[in-house]
């Protein structure tokens, strides 16, 4: 089967495209009047919040909208041919052969019952009818290209035998097997850890260059778009609101939504006291409740009644820039360079007395090798290894680390869902590490509460919001009568800036950010003094993240709460935390104030982490550090220093000390500690990873 004839124009040209989904109640327009062109070899980013229609565009290109989705206007041309007019046969040839797609969840894209090699070989065997030998050699070639160690072994393994990062590389390899003209990547790295993400992003970029593939890169992360794409298209509520080259959109934005988006993400220049983030007011409109005129109108600072809320607003070209267009009627009038109105500046709160003290905390799990009969040798998983730190009143301590670093285990031990193996946790000088939650008194339980990561999972779907908060009040012995608790519940809703009418709502009627607010209200219902926030905003959209983060800070100021902020996102950590603790495989590798951790000398892992986090700022220059391989399993940690398998400074330490000994904790100035064998001179030599280009 042959590929389509070569074509001079753009690889993909979408023009004035509109999709709708037809439900039994109404027609729901998912994408309206959407145009974008991808030139050969070009990478175009599609960025927007969840529900803005970016994935629908991808599915539309694949002509896979399901039963109730239909194109209601416009065209999608691939190499000059309209995809909507192709027959099913022709489409089958195009899919997977000329247009390949990479999805978010690598495990779900691979067939778990087939060996990797077989799955890869299928692609050329089906599309080009090549022989088995040739298919295998091609598979071997691409697996080598995606930089997987030991390609032969990879081909002979099943998907579950690989780690998440390796699986995603295989998915990329599969997409490249047929040398497609267009590659669609739908949030390809969202399910991966940051350091692994950095490596995969680099791979995608390099391979795009090598194979000359055009790319449509869908992401919600502006930083990632900056690192991978040449051009970008910002979407809001089913429409493209601005498109242009990276430099134009990032530095010379011409749409209020783009501007608001950049103001709500924590860039290195933001600061929670001096330059707080500016959250976008209001909520994302539901597809069937879009306002007339400009969709962003109701949330826009520049809104002008009569102009912005009447009629269709077309895309208009921005003069002087290369193919830069915006969907705003007022873009020529707005002074885009006006400085941000600095909101109220907040006093920095001084940390008070020590509330929580952790000393040499250890948590080991014993895993029986033979689960069924409990016999056989037992393996010990060291989830937490000698954790020691203090947390003070009204202080934010960030715990940073990737999956498997032991941060969740620590949270469990602190909450009392597990008991510690060794060491102690002192809450106001009282030991609680051996007291399981059933044995704790109400006061202790209500003092230490938790905010969970997934807003869609944090509330019981079959209980009203008010009922859930009241339940927490009942459990914490707040109030003496139902009326009192009802009143307190309404006050808690006020505290998290939710309308009181929400008490009667079911969780499914709330947006992600609103659910997270309810989760926060519930955590504070017993007057919590220590709140463990487990990635509270990472599952939220950027415009909502800022608001929820601010809310947490606000409550903290009011209630003098100690916040343990667990996250892998260093940008947000830098923005809101006072002190930072970096963890890797159960060890605390670095601990210090935010300034100390964000400036050299770093622990080598911290350094890599800084480099891996994508920053959506064109004026930032990052030192490029890509870690090899994946995070080792906690079941089978490396000998000596836990980070030695991926450390780029390892050969600076003489005598192979890294392989044999766990490094000691080295105290540096004023509470800054690093767990590393590197000598002081080497540490001094380190240069900052993130620099402003102007400096």
Which residues contact another protein by CB under 8 A?
A: 20, 22, 24, 27, 70-73, 84-89, 91, 415-417, 437-438, 440, 442, 445-446, 449-450, 452-454, 457-463, 472, 474-477, 519, 522, 526
Helices (H), 128-244: 132-145, 151-155, 164-176, 194-211, 222-228
Cα separation, 479 vs 527, in Å, equals: 12
Is the Cβ of residue 84 or residue 626 nearer to another protein in the bound state?
A: 84
Is the Cβ of residue 139 or residue 533 nearer to another protein in the bound state?
A: 533
Cα separation, 623 vs 608, in Å, equals: 9
Is the Cβ of residue 90 or residue 141 nearer to another protein in the bound state?
A: 90
Is the Cβ of residue 275 or residue 488 nearer to another protein in the bound state?
A: 488
Residues 273, 258 contacting (CB under 8 angstroms): no
Provide φ and ψ at 270, rounded to 5°: -75, 155
Nearest Cα residue to 259 out of 220, 218, 301, 219: 301
Helix count and strand count (H, E) for the chain:
22, 26
Provide the minimum distance between the beta carbon of 73 and another protein in the complex, in angstroms, as a whole number: 7
Within a 10 A sphere around the Cβ of 491, how many other Cβ atoms?
12
Q: How far is CA 66 from CA 17, 70, 148, 310, 622, in A?
A: 17, 8, 35, 33, 42
Provide the minimum distance between the beta carbon of 523 and another protein in the complex, in angstroms, as a whole number: 8
Provide the minimum distance between the beta carbon of 368 and another protein in the complex, in angstroms, as a whole number: 12
Cα separation, 397 vs 573, in Å, equals: 9
Provide the minimum distance between the beta carbon of 360 and another protein in the complex, in angstroms, as a whole number: 24
CA atoms lying within 13 Å on the CB side of residue 69: 15
Provide the minimum distance between the beta carbon of 438 and another protein in the complex, in angstroms, as a whole number: 7
Is the Cβ of residue 25 or residue 305 nearer to another protein in the bound state?
A: 25
Cα separation, 101 vs 321, in Å, equals: 31
Provide the minimum distance between the beta carbon of 475 and another protein in the complex, in angstroms, as a whole number: 5
Bridging pattern class, strands 354-368 and 378-392: antiparallel
Is the Cβ of residue 166 or residue 449 nearer to another protein in the bound state?
A: 449
Q: Which three-class secondary structure string do you get for 128-140?
A: CCCCHHHHHHHHH
Q: How far is CA 138 from CA 147, 195, 212, 449, in A?
A: 15, 29, 18, 54
Is the Cβ of residue 461 or residue 655 nearer to another protein in the bound state?
A: 461
Provide the minimum distance between the beta carbon of 515 and another protein in the complex, in angstroms, as a whole number: 10
Is the Cβ of residue 520 or residue 641 nearer to another protein in the bound state?
A: 520
Is the Cβ of residue 418 or residue 607 nearer to another protein in the bound state?
A: 418
Provide the minimum distance between the beta carbon of 624 and another protein in the complex, in angstroms, as a whole number: 36
Provide the minimum distance between the beta carbon of 468 and another protein in the complex, in angstroms, as a whole number: 8
Residues 8, 197 contacting (CB under 8 angstroms): no
How buried is 608 (Cβ within 10 angstroms: 0-12 exposed, 13-18 middle, 19+ buried)? buried
């Amino acid at each position: 089967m042959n590929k389509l004839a070569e074509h001079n124009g753009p690889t993909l040209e979408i023009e004035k495209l509109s999709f709708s989904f037809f439900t039994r109640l109404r027609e729901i327009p998912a994408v309206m009047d959407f145009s974008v062109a991808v030139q050969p070899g070009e990478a175009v980013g599609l960025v927007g919040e969840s529900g803005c229609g970016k994935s629908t565009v991808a599915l539309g290109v694949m002509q896979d909208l399901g039963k109730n989705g239909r194109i209601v206007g416009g065209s999608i041309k691939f190499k000059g041919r309209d995809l909507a007019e192709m027959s099913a046969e022709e489409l089958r040839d195009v899919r997977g052969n000329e247009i390949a797609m990479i999805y978010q969840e690598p495990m779900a894209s691979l067939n778990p019952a087939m060996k990797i090699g077989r799955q890869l070989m299928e692609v050329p065997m089906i599309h080009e009818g090549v022989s088995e030998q040739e298919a295998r050699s091609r598979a071997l070639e691409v697996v080598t290209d995606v930089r997987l160690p030991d390609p032969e072994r990879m081909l002979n393994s099943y998907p579950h035998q690989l780690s998440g990062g390796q699986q995603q590389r295989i998915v990329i390899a599969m997409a490249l097997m047929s040398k497609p003209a267009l590659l669609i990547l739908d949030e390809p790295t969202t399910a991966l850890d940051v350091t692994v993400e950095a490596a995969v992003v680099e791979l995608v970029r390099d391979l795009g260059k090598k194979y000359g593939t055009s790319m449509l890169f869908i992401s919600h992360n502006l930083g990632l778009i900056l690192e991978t794409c040449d051009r970008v298209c910002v979407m809001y509520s089913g429409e493209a609101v601005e498109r242009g080259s990276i430099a134009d959109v990032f530095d010379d934005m011409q749409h209020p939504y783009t501007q608001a988006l950049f103001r709500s993400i924590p860039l290195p220049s933001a600061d929670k006291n001096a330059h707080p983030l500016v959250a976008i007011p209001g909520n994302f409109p539901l597809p069937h409740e879009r306002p007339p005129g400009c969709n962003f109108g109701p949330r826009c600072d520049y809104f002008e009644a009569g102009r912005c809320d009447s009629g269709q607003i077309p895309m208009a070209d921005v003069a002087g820039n290369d193919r830069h267009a915006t969907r705003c009627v007022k873009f020529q009038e707005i002074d885009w360079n006006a400085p941000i109105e600095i909101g109220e500046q907040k006093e920095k709160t001084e940390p008070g007395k020590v509330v929580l003290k952790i000393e040499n905390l250890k948590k080991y799990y014993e895993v029986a090798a033979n689960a069924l009969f409990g016999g056989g040798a037992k393996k010990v998983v060291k989830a937490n290894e000698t954790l020691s730190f203090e947390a003070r009143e009204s202080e934010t301590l960030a715990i940073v680390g990737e999956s498997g670093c032991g941060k969740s285990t620590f949270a469990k031990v602190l909450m009392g869902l597990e008991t510690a193996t060794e060491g102690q946790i002192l809450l106001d000088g009282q030991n609680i590490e051996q007291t399981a939650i059933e044995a704790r008194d109400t006061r202790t339980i209500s003092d230490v509460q938790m905010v969970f990561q997934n807003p869609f999972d944090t509330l019981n779907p079959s209980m009203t919001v008010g009922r859930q908060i009241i339940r927490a009040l009942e459990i914490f012995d707040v109030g003496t009568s139902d009326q009192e608790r009802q009143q307190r519940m309404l006050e808690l809703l006020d505290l998290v800036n939710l309308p009181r009418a929400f008490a009667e709502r079911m969780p499914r009627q709330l947006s992600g950010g609103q659910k997270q607010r309810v989760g926060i209200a519930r955590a504070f219902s017993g007057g919590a003094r220590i709140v463990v926030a487990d990635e509270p905003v990472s599952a939220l959209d950027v415009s909502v993240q800022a608001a929820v983060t601010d809310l947490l800070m606000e409550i903290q100021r009011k209630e003098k709460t100690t916040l343990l902020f667990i996250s892998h996102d260093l940008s947000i950590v830098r923005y809101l935390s006072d002190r930072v603790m970096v963890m890797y495989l159960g060890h605390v590798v670095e601990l210090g104030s935010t300034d100390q951790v964000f400036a050299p000398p770093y622990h080598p892992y911290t350094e890599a982490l800084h480099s891996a986090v994508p920053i959506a700022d064109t004026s930032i220059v990052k030192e490029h550090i890509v870690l090899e391989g994946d995070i080792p399993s906690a079941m089978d940690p490396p000998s000596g220093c836990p980070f030695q398998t991926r450390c780029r400074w390892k050969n600076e330490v003489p005598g192979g000390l890294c392989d044999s000994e766990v490094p000691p904790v080295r105290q540096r100035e004023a509470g800054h500690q690093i767990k590393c064998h590197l000598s002081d001179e080497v540490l001094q030599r380190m240069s900052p990873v993130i620099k402003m280009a102007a400096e």
